[in-house]
Structure 1
């Protein structure tokens, strides 16, 4: 069967902004390309959705929303790159011991501000990655053990991949749009 378009372009996303994933390159190039691809995939899943629909749970009984996932991913960027790896003393985003699920459950904020905050967290994460070797370590706060940047990158790829799958279902349920 002949392909009529490059394999990375979905017919439902003809203006797909994602770069093709590398087939070779250094470990750093491949890990960061995959993480950035998944970040862009999540953003693509949200593109064109009305702000109020981003905060609407589409698949009962689940209360999961695109807005909640966005807030969660912003917090995950901060937690893994800044707090654990770089050992920065910054406050949690959308989390407290008294309300640990507020990233998913409290959607009272503006969606555009949530996207701006997520983009800012991603930018800081990229700066941290660029400034360190893959073997450099932070501290896994739950265990006190060393935490390699390589491990953080792999974890974040898995985190985004999981939530991109959730976003697929939520987006299709929101307006019927599918794509990868």
Structure 2
């Protein structure tokens, strides 16, 4: 399956622009992982780091869940891979399955998209325990764009080390 990645609009309203950039970066991560086996996806960057493409996918599932479901939507649910709230657990993908990770990630992305569409305004706020104060949907979307952009840079290097594929 080939991921479709649409370029964000050059002239659009703020919400459409944020939504488009977030989806662009989600698609970029999916493209960086296409066509790889579970073994390739679990390949670690360079010891002692446990960073892998599969770990990044699992981490981004946690990030989507934490910010959209737990913060913006106020859901009292644990993280996907850590009932104790330890975000680092997701990075350890040594025994993880690609199917499970991608299913969890896509599920959280769909929840995030639904929640974002249902929130009345980018100015709506909710309490972030991580930051100890209220944050707006706008800040959450910008934070996720930042998270994806940073981790997609990691994904570039990880993918190139696996099979020489560059670019996105």
The TM-score with structure 2 as length reference comes to 0.92
Once the two structures are superposed, residues 51-95 of structure 1 have per-residue CA deviations (whole angstroms, 9 ceiling, x without a partner) of: 211001133342210011111000000001111111111111223
Cα shift at 1:144: 3.9
Question: Pairwise CA RMSD of aligned residues?
Answer: 1.7
Cα shift at 1:154: 0.2
Cα shift at 1:98: 8.4
* Kept after mapping to 1: 8 A contact 2:54/2:93: no
For 2:143 and 2:40, the matched residues in 1 are separated by 29
Partner of 1:158: 146
For the pair 1:105 / 2:92, whether they are aligned, the reply is yes
User: Which ranges in structure 1 are unaligned for 5 or more consecutive residues?
Assistant: 1-14
Partner of 1:178: 166
The TM-score with structure 1 as length reference comes to 0.86
Higher helix residue share = 2
Once the two structures are superposed, residues 16-44 of structure 1 have per-residue CA deviations (whole angstroms, 9 ceiling, x without a partner) of: 62112210100000000000000000000
Would you say how many aligned residue pairs link Structure 1 and Structure 2?
Answer: 166
Counterpart selection for 2:6 from 6, 19, 22? 19
* Kept after mapping to 1: 8 A contact 2:44/2:50: yes
User: Which ranges in structure 2 are unaligned for 5 or more consecutive residues?
Assistant: none
The structure whose Rg is larger is 1
For the pair 1:83 / 2:73, whether they are aligned, the reply is no
